[in-house]
């Protein structure tokens, strides 16, 4: 566990010890420089890493390591652009103050998905941390076999299906993911995606035509026609007109 604030470090340590028996704490550090040495010594399976630290933040610390062979759960007190980037890359993160239920869920996911392509996820994360948001970037999608890295530009639309979401890709492929549509809406908002209906999130880049009506409809570049909710119509038309 790496966190420059002693109180945060002690709080997380106490919660892990009491509520997460699958996690054995081997070391803690308040300084990234010390953490690098401890990681090399103990070779942990997972690290809990604070993003915002003086002199060297969490991302910079990772750059200093020769090899990334462990899973990472980020911790942060700030809900800013870094959180959006972490969502895109499929890393887990915990927002301070850390809730016990959120911590337990993160550990459960970790046990199920141990060491899934950490290096690839870091690559996606670094791209997403750039100042400009490009649809040429990738999003990490969890599947039954691991993670699939998809170029955002190739996603036509995403459809809600109960507790699942269906991603429709430019090549005709469909991927079913155990994430809510709201999760994708939060992740992809900076990349010009818009939720036109409670069941549909579309990539504005792939709109071919708007068809007038009570709410109207959109036709995408693959020929798919989707309804626009009446309450979304005005905001949507302003968005595509701009």
Tell me the C-alpha to C-alpha distance, in Å, between residue 184 and each of 54, 114, 139, 178, 198. Answer: 32, 23, 10, 11, 13
pLDDT digits (tens, 9 = 90+) for 24-76: 999 999 999 999 999 999 999 999 999 888 888 898 899 899 888 899 999 98
Mean pLDDT of the 106-117 span: 72
Sign of the torsion formed by the C-alpha atoms of 45, 48, 51 and 52: negative
Question: Cα 207 from chain centroid?
Answer: 25
Confidence of residue 79 (pLDDT cuts 50, 70, 90): low
**Long-range pairs for 159-165 at CB < 8 Å and ≥24 separation?**
159/199, 159/200, 159/201, 160/198, 160/199, 160/200
Q: Tell me whether domains 6-128 and 138-241 share a fold.
A: no
> What is residue 114's predicted lDDT score, i.e. its pLDDT?
56
Mean pLDDT of the 96-119 span: 81
- 6, containing H or E segment: helix 6-19
**Long-range pairs for 96-100 at CB < 8 Å and ≥24 separation?**
96/8, 97/11, 98/11, 98/12, 98/15, 100/15, 100/19
Residue extents of the structural domains in the chain: 6-128, 138-241
Q: What are the helix (H) ranges across 94-150?
A: 100-112, 118-128
pLDDT digits (tens, 9 = 90+) for 139-166: 988 877 778 899 999 999 999 988 899 9
Confidence of residue 135 (pLDDT cuts 50, 70, 90): confident
> What is residue 77's predicted lDDT score, i.e. its pLDDT?
83
212 vs 144, which has greater pLDDT? 212
pLDDT > 70: percent of the chain: 95
> What is residue 242's predicted lDDT score, i.e. its pLDDT?
66
Domain 6-128 -> CATH class: alpha beta
Question: Is the pTM value of this prediction over 0.85?
Answer: no
Task: Give the homologous superfamily in CATH for domain 138-241.
Answer: LytTr DNA-binding domain (2.40.50.1020)
Confidence of residue 113 (pLDDT cuts 50, 70, 90): low
**What is the average pLDDT value for the chain, to the nearest integer?**
89
């Amino acid at each position: 566990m790496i966190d420059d604030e002693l109180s945060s470090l002690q709080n997380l340590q106490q919660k892990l010890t009491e509520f997460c028996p699958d996690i054995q704490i081997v070391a803690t550090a308040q300084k990234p420089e010390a953490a690098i040495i401890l990681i090399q010594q103990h070779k942990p399976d997972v690290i809990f890493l604070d993003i915002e630290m003086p002199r060297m933040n969490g991302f910079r610390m990772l750059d200093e390591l020769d090899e990334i062979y462990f899973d990472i759960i980020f911790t942060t007190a700030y809900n800013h652009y870094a959180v959006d980037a972490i969502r895109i890359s499929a890393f887990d993160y915990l927002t301070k103050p850390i809730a016990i239920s959120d911590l337990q869920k993160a550990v459960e996911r970790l046990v199920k998905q141990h060491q899934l392509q950490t290096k690839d996820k870091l690559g996606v994360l670094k791209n997403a941390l750039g100042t400009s948001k490009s649809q040429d970037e990738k999003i990490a999608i969890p599947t039954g076999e691991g993670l699939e890295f998809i170029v955002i530009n190739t996603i036509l639309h995403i459809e809600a299906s109960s507790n699942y979401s269906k991603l429709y890709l430019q090549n005709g492929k469909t991927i079913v993911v155990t994430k809510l549509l709201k999760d994708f809406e939060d992740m992809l908002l900076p990349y010009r995606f818009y939720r036109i209906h409670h069941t549909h999130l579309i990539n504005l880049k792939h709109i071919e035509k708007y068809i007038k009506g009570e709410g109207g409809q959109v036709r995408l570049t693959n020929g798919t026609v989707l309804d626009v909710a009446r309450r979304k119509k005005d905001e949507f038309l302003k968005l595509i007109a701009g």
